[in-house]
Amino acid sequence: MEQYISIGEYQRFMTERYHKMGERMQFNELINYLSVNHLLSDQKPKMPKPVWNESTSTADFNKIIDSLYLVVSPSPSRYTVTENEIIPPNRDVFIIRHPRYTRPSSHMHNYFELDYVAEGSCSFFFDGETHKMGAGEMCIIAPSSEHDITIDDDSSTVFCIMLRKSTFNTNFFSLMSRKDLLSQFFRTILQDESKENYLQFFVGRDTNIENYIRHAMIECYKTDDYSNNCCINWINLMMTELLRNYSSTIQFHDYKVGTDFSLVLRYIEHNYRTLTLKSLSEFFHYSEPHLSSLIRQNTGYNFTTLIKQLRLSNAKEYLLNTNMKISEIADRVGYNSADHFSRVFRGEYHMSPQSYRHSNSHGDRLIPFREE
């Protein structure tokens, strides 16, 4: 049977139990306690109509959040949480303000979770380690990744965005469908459920990011026919902002790769014209066989093929968008001669660079990072 409680009332019970009794509880544990003690409402309350704007402070927006209500059902706490248990029916996205003073309990689930620290800090547990996330940090946690987040003060605000896996794949991976290395790496990291992983962004106090989340959260608690699509669109804007402005801040976790491999990808993209596997391995202090294995694992190419693809990709850009001579393009992308460049180009695309230019054909492009 569905029951109801406002987010503010739920947090008040959680906070009181911690301060008065030193007791922490998980979300479902407190819901079960409140249900047994008849402290949940059986009557569906009227949803308030929040009034706010982009200059509304975090404290004032928290008051709006406190007035929103949750639809809850008593259920046992589980190590593995499924999307149908936490995301309401007919919803693709559900956003909550992460409860404060929860009992630490690592868990995993089959949906994507995005956590954004709007104010204060939280403790992020992953792979046996705990570190603090501060204001302006966001993490995207892949399905089947064991993790936990706890908040230990009254003032910190963390938004928890839960996305059905099918929705993430359909609506948000399209943002990562570009042919550049980092987009390929995102897809590898987030779609490989054989390894636990997350991506972390450092966005600072970006008002656009926070307001997109606020808009999406308010839509989550509306019940009209448009609210679900509106919520998806707000999160789409947020994801676009992340990739457009904060890709350079990314960190990630991977058992085999290490947290600096995104730097390797970025270094390759900026230096592919003259780069060798030996110079790359020396620069990052990897052995050549190990680095070669990592590159194939995370891009799908061996080093030689990757460099060729990057050279030819840039060459196509020059052919289509400039009047540079073939010899100039060859030199620009790292070939010693126009003849060598033309042979490689013809072998890949079955036409000469001149024919490609004249036909103005737009094929799939492995677009390297733009220079800042």
Whole-Å CA distances, 310 to 270, 290, 324, 367: 10, 21, 18, 8
> Distances from the Cα of 174 to the Cαs of 78, 243, 344, 368, in angstroms?
32, 12, 31, 18
Name the fold adopted by 268-359.
Arc Repressor Mutant, subunit A (1.10.10)
Provide, rounded to the nearest whole percent, the portion of the chain with pLDDT above 90. Answer: 58
pLDDT tens figures, 69-110: 999 988 888 888 899 889 998 899 999 999 999 999 999 999
The stretch 231-260 carries a mean pLDDT of 75
Q: Please state the pTM of the whole predicted model.
A: 0.72
Between 184 and 365, the more confident residue is 184
According to the model, what pLDDT value does residue 372 have? 40
Task: Please tell me the predicted confidence (pLDDT) of residue 201.
Answer: 87
Q: According to the per-residue pLDDT averaged within each range, which of 34-43, 170-179, 185-194, 240-249 is highest?
A: 34-43
Dihedrals φ, ψ of 175, to 5°? -70, -20
Q: What is the mean pLDDT of the chain?
A: 87
pLDDT at residue 77, rounded to an integer: 80
Crossing angle for the helix pair 58-67 and 207-220, nearest 10 degrees?
10
112-116, 178-182, 220-224, 356-360: least confident range: 178-182
Confidence check: pLDDT of 10 > 90: yes
CATH topology of domain 3-252: Jelly Rolls (2.60.120)
* Gap between the Cα atoms of 302 and 300, Å rounded: 7
Between CA 198 and CA 205 the distance in angstroms is 21
Q: 157-163 and 93-97: which strand pairing?
A: antiparallel
Mean pLDDT, to the nearest integer, of 282-290? 85
CA 45 remoteness from chain centre:
34
What would the 3-class secondary structure string for the chain be?
CCEEEEHHHHHHHHHHHHHHHCCCECHHHHHHHHHHCCCCECCCCCCCCCCCCCCCCHHHHHHHHHHCEEEECCCCCCCEECHHHHCCCCCCEEEEECCCCECCCCEEECCEEEEEEEECEEEEEECCEEEEEECCEEEEECCCCCEEEECCCCCCEEEEEEECHHHHHHHHHHHHCCCCHHHHHHHHHHHCCCCCCEEEEECCCCHHHHHHHHHHHHHHCCCCCCHHHHHHHHHHHHHHHHHHHCHHHCEECCCCCCCCHHHHHHHHHHHCCCCCHHHHHHHHCCCHHHHHHHHHHHHCCCHHHHHHHHHHHHHHHHHHHCCCCHHHHHHHHCCCCHHHHHHHHHHHHCCCHHHHHHHCCCCCCCCCCCCC
Q: What is the pLDDT of residue 294?
A: 86
pLDDT level of residue 51 (50, 70, 90 thresholds): very high
| d(C-alpha 103, C-alpha 106), whole Å | 10
Structural domain boundaries of the chain? Answer: 3-252, 268-359
